[in-house]
Amino acid sequence: MSSKTSRQTSGTAGSGGADDDLPFDVVINLERLPVDGSHVSLELAPGQLRKLASVLKVSSVRDFSAGLHVLRKNRGRGSEILVTGNLLSTIVQPCVITLEPVSQTIDVKLQRTFVPSGGGPGGDVTANAEIYVDLGEDDMPDEYEGNELDLGPFLLESLALEIDIYPRLPGARLGSGIAGDGSSGSSPFSVLKDLKKN
């Protein structure tokens, strides 16, 4: 079942792509990116939500949607791509004390700059090309290769960073009945380690 999308022709979104571990892909064709950018909307179907929960190692993901604007900051080869938008999701995990389900609503603004890595025709940076990176930005830019940019890993990372690694029900108290300390490998942060490996 494919995800529900609303997009311009420069971007596509689907239920899986080059990285089979991801439940979706959001691929932007940079050669067809309009001067004023492209808007991409993504909403996951039930099957994709189940796979996302498995990837994130949480009990369930009730919903997931994102709205993105993809803009080329400068024209030609070696150009930077600015991605801004918003991500909404509801995550369910067991309370670390009582094991009862805890729901977390995530509503986060997104902003990331992507720069060419030098590989592929779209990222061919010549000796005379200069790329300026604003070190004052909160996040260092990511890299892309060729003429396509897959924003799936970026969205997955953005969601994983917002997930509470110590979910606790209101009023639950620490004591002898603590179910776990969140230090095991099965946590949203282990997903980030896997992303960095790739």
User: pLDDT tens for residues 57-110?
Assistant: 999 999 999 999 999 987 665 689 999 999 999 999 999 999 999 999 999 999
Total domains in the fold of the chain: 1
- The confidence score (pLDDT) of residue 29 equals 94
Are the beta carbons of 11 and 70 closer than 8 angstroms? yes
- The tokens of 123 are what? 């990222």
Percent residues over pLDDT 90 in the chain: 53
Assess whether pLDDT exceeds 80 at residue 56. yes
Return mean pLDDT, the chain. Answer: 78
Q: Which two tokens stand for residue 125?
A: 């940076």
Which of 40-60 are b and which e, b meaning 16 or more Cβ less than 10 Å from the residue's Cβ?
Answer: bbbbbbeebbebbbebbbbeb
Classify the C-alpha dihedral 52-56-58-62 as positive or negative: negative
Distance CA 84, CA 89 (A): 17
User: Amino acid identity of 87?
Assistant: L
* Residues of the domain holding 174: 4-197
Question: What is the Cα–Cα distance from 151 to 142, expressed in whole angstroms?
Answer: 11
Strand-pair partners of 71: 82
Q: What integer pLDDT is reported at residue 79 of this predicted model?
A: 84
Contacts of residue 178, defined as CB under 8 A and 6 or more positions apart, other chains included, come to 96, 97
Overall average pLDDT of the 5-28 stretch:
63
Per-residue pLDDT, 43: 97
Q: Is the pTM of this model over 0.75?
A: no
pLDDT at position 156 is 96
Say if strands 101-116 and 81-94 run parallel, antiparallel, or are unpaired: antiparallel
Confidence bin at 140 (pLDDT 50/70/90): confident
Residue scoring higher pLDDT (191 or 70):
70
